[in-house]
A and B are shown apart, each in its own frame.
Chain A
Amino acid sequence: MTQGYQGYQGQQDYQGQQGYQGRQGFAAAGPVSAVSPAEQAAPAADTGTGSATAPRVPSGRDRYLDLLRSIALVRVVVYHLFGWAWLSVLFPSMGVMFALAGSLMARSLKRPALSVIKSRVRRLLPPLWAFSAVALALMFAGGWNPVKDPDNGGTWGLVKLIDYIIPIGAPPYPWHVGSKSGLLEDTWAVQAAGPLWYLRAYLWFVVASPLLLWAFRKAPWPTLLAPLGLTAIVGTGLVTIPGETGNAVTDFAVYGGCWVLGFAHHEGVLARIPRYVSVSCSALVMAFGLWWASGHLGPDGWDLNDIPLAQAAWSFGFVVILLQYSPSWQELPGRLARWDKLVTLSNNRAVTIYLWHNLLIMATVPIIDQAYNLPFMESDRAAAALDSTYMLWMFFLVWPLIGLAILAFGWIEDIAAKRAPRLWPNGVRKAGGRRRG
């Protein structure tokens, strides 16, 4: 039946096949797409062939993957804002982001490994530096002295500040800075620097990718499933590795499966497995994840981010299903088309959005607090109304703030990718209107 099956796929996914070829063409010819997020850099950007060309409308990008990345980003922001544990089940953002990055990494690794790693690191660091500079300045201004910090004091604390420059570990931050009555909550540093673990994990994955890809080609199944096995060991308390190394290893294990799934997607391995097998198996893996979570609920209940093995299993299964149905869109279809510009923008500025969003969420608080001083807000009822809708206002306010951050710092991503800096890369060309890819 295999022949029939493949023939059938070809026929039904006619549209998709075109898209796929378009992508291949893009990868080979290597024009710079206007929508390469630095983080998941398009390979062509480093060949130098098109780095000087003006911003262009997306031509060869798989808009389905772009859409997934945008959803993942929005989910992360909403989750960090409201703290709803169920969001981590509804859409495992981090797993999806690592899978997409893994897929692009596998594509890039057609070129010499060292140059790929170098280019990835080069794209990652400058945006981080900008963020680190602002965050550290604020922390120091708040009176934080890394040498005297009770949690990671001494010279070591000073050394660990390097993580703000090269994130080989998650950087240190004060648990309390400033005063409770200050403009920002005294835990703002925790909130702001918290998400930086992702960059550390990403860096590790990038560095390990040549080896992982080699292993994947030699032995696909063991390489795909090894991270899950490793999570079962280091993520369940069976073996505990102390300190930041432990965190790094655990994160590597938890999301390693997704990263390698990205490889599998790119290499076409996923497409070769009959759909019923992959979907059914991933449903079983996900069911295991939920079952495990039910017995190991964390401080926030069903928040998978606190339950490594559940997170690994759930994300793995979820990503398999998302990638299995990967339709390879050249353009967002139907009603999704109206989100085109936002998807393009968020993909172009993924690193900026991710780095800054938590700090910006904190920054909404002092801004909204100003509302209490408004004349018509003096009654208790008005204040109570604001109290009860506070989160909502934060939600509405954080997006414009993210927009401002994109304007202020987003261009650094372009510089890091050796491109002409752009202010607002949402795929709309200033002159000549839109060109359909």
Chain B
Amino acid sequence: MATRTSRQGAASGALAGSRRRRLPMRLLLPLLVLIALMAMLMLRGYVHSEIMADHRIQPEAATDKVPEKILDGGPVIDTRSGRTTSMSVPDKRLVLTFDDGPDPTWTPKVLDVLKKHHAHAVFFVTGTMTSRYPDLVKRMVDEGHEVGLHTFNHPDLSFQSKGRIDWELSQNQLAITGAAGVRTSLFRPPYSSFADAMDDKSWPVTEYIGTRGYITVVNNTDSEDWKKPGVDEIIRRATPHDGKGAIVLMHDSGGDRHQTVQALDKFLPELQAQGYQFQNLTEALGAPSALTPVTGADLWKGKAWIFLVQASDDITDVLVVGLAVIGALVISRFVLMLLLSGIHARRVRRKGFSWGPPVTEPVSVLVPAYNEAKCIENTVRSLTASEHPIEIIVVDDGSTDGTARIVEAMGLPNVRVVRQMNAGKPAALNRGLANSSYDLIVMMDGDTVFEPATVRELVQPFGDPRVGAVAGNAKVGNRDSLIGAWQHIEYVMGFNLDRRMYDVLRCMPTIPGAVGAFRRSALERVGGMSDDTLAEDTDITMALHRDGWRVVYAENARAWTEAPETVQQLWSQRYRWSYGTMQAIWKHRRALVEKGPSGRFGRVGLPLVSLFMVVAPLLAPLIDVFLLYGVVFGPTQKTIVAWLGVLAIQAICAAYAFRLDRERMTHLISLPLQQILYRQLMYVVLLQSWITALTGGRLRWQKLRRTGVVEAPGGPVPRQRTHDGDRRPVG
């Protein structure tokens, strides 16, 4: 486990304890949100027949087990309580039956035509369609039609277990109850036709369904309208011979049904003129209605089901919009980054480019240190090798491990140690500022290692008098572990794409605490560092923007840092960053409405930073939710290809960033894993920051455990060590 220490020293033990107890919450809430999203998606997939759909159809089988009188009998088959009887519709009566609905387009038209000709019919509705379009089922019942079960999602029941059959019926019934407040006792099996088509596979199902209290209704006149044979052909097939009664099979769903609607409009008046009556089944048979009103708990269960399905449909719509938004954001951000970082690189690498006259004046380097005993010596030694004239001021923030003594024992001439009671990093920096003698200030962490050229490169932009602060290029030293490689990729992209982009857009949100330079006059104008937020580096940078200073990126000012080695440490670090950034954005919110440079930053920089750093990551889980759903429930292939496409775009961006930074490409091999393990960690952290922000939680300072292995290539000391949590790859 990571050793966590607190800047506030004394209270750390108790706080660490309380933190541990609260630990599961940070996982629990995001997890619950994700599970709820997934459940909603699955519910939607289920009523859209993406889940559990079974499209097998039983081939014809022998008929020797089907009673003769059923094969020869009418289309209404009653096998309830041991009966085996069938009935036919009396002469001059037609029962129109519509299967597979309701359909949002065609069912209303069918209902309109039926209403126009004062005809009643029977609709055998599926549970999925009923759940999605409950209003239509209610309309059917209200207008005097009967509804019957057609199973929940239309499988061939002869393949299904009894349990599944029960479930298909009850779920279908539940949906009808929820939609129209009634129960029905009519049932039509999917893929059924005439009574004489019953065979040894379907008859047992019919018998079983009778034991559940349902009357099975097949048909004896098939319009075959689903083949779209033309209006006249539908009418010809639907018309019974010699004035006989019949049950006519039609469809109001499953495709374009305009022929059915047109045929009905012709067919109904024609046959009514011949003396036919169009009634629902029980009217035609002279039986009591098949529909019974439902009250009480069953009704509420049905209503709850319909509500859930509607909610899942709505939520999914919102999610899809969210996914489109995040997709557009991600892609446009990448395009913008590629474009602007290319412009930036060309600009600053142009021959003869300079910020202004070369900056040669001496620089004060501030090193705030809190318990940096392991690292401070390497840090200071790397500074003494600087090619630029500097004074080094180590501010010991009440360390208990002798950090200050170590520096003093080194006995270096241009190094000063300033001690203070433990007061936090912003206070330490302000104290260092007060004790420094020069006008250019470099700030670094007590565990970061500079190259000899770093300070010089870092202050060159001050040749331009408008530049108030400069961000350097922090690099991960320990990049051979998996988590290190992931952070390496993140840092290289963050410094070479994000920061260049922000530089060009003039709204860089953060000077990294590990390597940054400031003009004293700029710092003094905005009142120095502040401890209002957990991210004092973001806070000060935003303040400088609002004061009209330019903040730029110096790509060659490299500082070597050691990235967190455990998930725990990484978590603490990122939590602080993301929460601190949110605090800083909130603190500077007034810039939105102000005039001048502050307003410019407030209306361009702040929204951009909020969008990319706070809002976009919030939508990022959608990518994973849809990925998971797509992989499990299909279309698997398309989903994976789409994901690989996004990965390819990211790989291109990363490769470009690596090229800009002249890094070896080998680490990019860990990019695919980064996308399925690391990115999720980052947004869960952000989600947690949101929760903290919304619930007004407090956050303490956490420091990383240091191992100290980073060395700067070409650095003055063979083994240098660095470390802390304050350099930020993403601006």
Contacts and interface: CB of A to CB of B under 8 A. Distances in A.
Nearest to A10: B709
Contacts of B477: 1, 4
A279 B709 contact: no
A283 interface: yes
Interface stretch (A130-138, A269-277, A366-374): A269-277
A279 B670 contact: yes
A5 B672 contact: no
A389 interface: no
Interface string A1-36: 101110110011000000000000000000000000
Contacts of A11: 707, 709
B711 A1 contact: yes
Contact of B672 (A274, A275, A284): A284
Nearest to B565: A12
A280 interface: yes
Given A276-B667, A276-B669, A1 B479 contact: yes
Given A275-B481, A275-B482, A276-B480, A5 B669 contact: no
Interface string A284-327: 10010000001000000000000000000000000000000000
Contacts of B718: 3
B315 to A, nearest CB: 30
Nearest to B486: A276
Given A1-B477, A12-B565, A7 B709 contact: yes
B239 interface: no
Interface residues of A, number: 19
A283 B709 CA distance: 27
Contact of B719 (A3, A12, A275): A3
B554 interface: no
Contact of A276 (B484, B713, B719): B484
A154 B554 CA distance: 84
From A1, A4, A276, A280, residue with most partner B Cβ within 10 Å: A276
A5 B480 contact: yes
A281 interface: yes
B673 interface: yes
A404 B296 CA distance: 59
A276 B672 contact: no
B686 interface: no
A274 B711 CA distance: 17
A276 B482 contact: yes
Nearest to B484: A276
A6 to B, nearest CB: 9
Q: Taking chain B's interface residues, is the majority helix, strand, or loop, or is none over half, making it mixed?
A: loop
A280 B672 contact: yes
Contact of B479 (A12, A276, A280, A281): A276
Contacts of B614: none
A254 B485 CA distance: 31
B711 A4 contact: yes
Nearest to A2: B480
B479 A8 contact: no
A8 B720 CA distance: 11
B482 A279 contact: yes
Contact of A283 (B484, B636, B672, B710): B672
Nearest to A284: B672
Given A12-B707, A276-B479, A4 B670 contact: no
Contact of A1 (B480, B482, B707): B480
Among A3, A4, A283, which residue has the most Cβ atoms of chain B within 10 A? A4
A287 B647 CA distance: 15
Nearest to A282: B673
Interface-central residue, A279, A280, A294, by most chain B CB under 10 Å: A280
A4 B478 contact: yes
A7 B719 contact: yes
A274 B479 CA distance: 9
B695 interface: no
A121 to B, nearest CB: 40
B715 to A, nearest CB: 11
A7 B720 CA distance: 11
B480 A274 contact: yes
B479 to A, nearest CB: 7
B709 A5 contact: yes
Nearest to B637: A294
A3 to B, nearest CB: 7
Given A1-B711, A276-B484, A8 B478 contact: yes
Interface in A105-120: none
Interface in B687-724: 707, 709-711, 713, 718-719
A280 B480 CA distance: 12
A8 B670 contact: no
A4 B480 CA distance: 10
Contacts of A280: 482, 485, 669-670, 672-673
Interface in A248-281: 274-277, 279-281
A64 to B, nearest CB: 18
Contacts of A3: 711, 718-719
Residue from A8, A275, A281 with most neighbouring chain B CB atoms (10 Å): A8
A3 B636 CA distance: 45
B476 to A, nearest CB: 10
Nearest to B674: A280
A11 B707 CA distance: 8
Contacts of A287: 672
B414 interface: no
A214 B712 CA distance: 40
A399 B615 CA distance: 54
Contacts of B667: 276
A277 B488 CA distance: 13
**B480, B669, B672 interface centre (most CB from chain A within 10 Å):** B480
A275 B484 CA distance: 10
B719 A4 contact: yes
A4 B672 contact: no
Contacts of B707: 8, 11-12
Contacts of B479: 1, 276
A4 B475 CA distance: 15
B481 A276 contact: yes
Nearest to A12: B707
A284 B671 CA distance: 11
A1 B710 CA distance: 8
B274 interface: no
Contacts of B480: 1, 5, 274-276
Contacts of A8: 478, 707, 709
Nearest to B669: A280
B295 interface: no
Contacts of B669: 276-277, 280-281, 284
A3 B718 CA distance: 9
B666 interface: yes
A143 B108 CA distance: 72
A330 to B, nearest CB: 20
Interface centre among B481, B486, B667, B672 (most CB of A within 10 A): B481
A8 B478 CA distance: 9
B559 to A, nearest CB: 15
A1 B484 CA distance: 13
Nearest to A324: B482
B415 to A, nearest CB: 25
Contacts of B710: 4
Contacts of A5: 478, 480, 709
Contacts of B478: 4-5, 8
Contacts of A277: 666, 669
30 contacts: A1-B480, A1-B711, A1-B713, A3-B711, A3-B718, A3-B719, A4-B478, A4-B709, A5-B478, A5-B480, A5-B709, A7-B719, A8-B707, A8-B709, A12-B707, A274-B480, A274-B481, A275-B481, A276-B479, A276-B484, A276-B486, A276-B667, A276-B670, A277-B666, A279-B673, A280-B482, A280-B485, A280-B670, A280-B673, A281-B669
Given A4-B710, A275-B482, A276-B667, 4 more contacts: A5-B709, A7-B709, A11-B707, A283-B673
Interface of A: 1, 3-5, 7-8, 11-12, 274-277, 279-281, 283-284, 287, 294
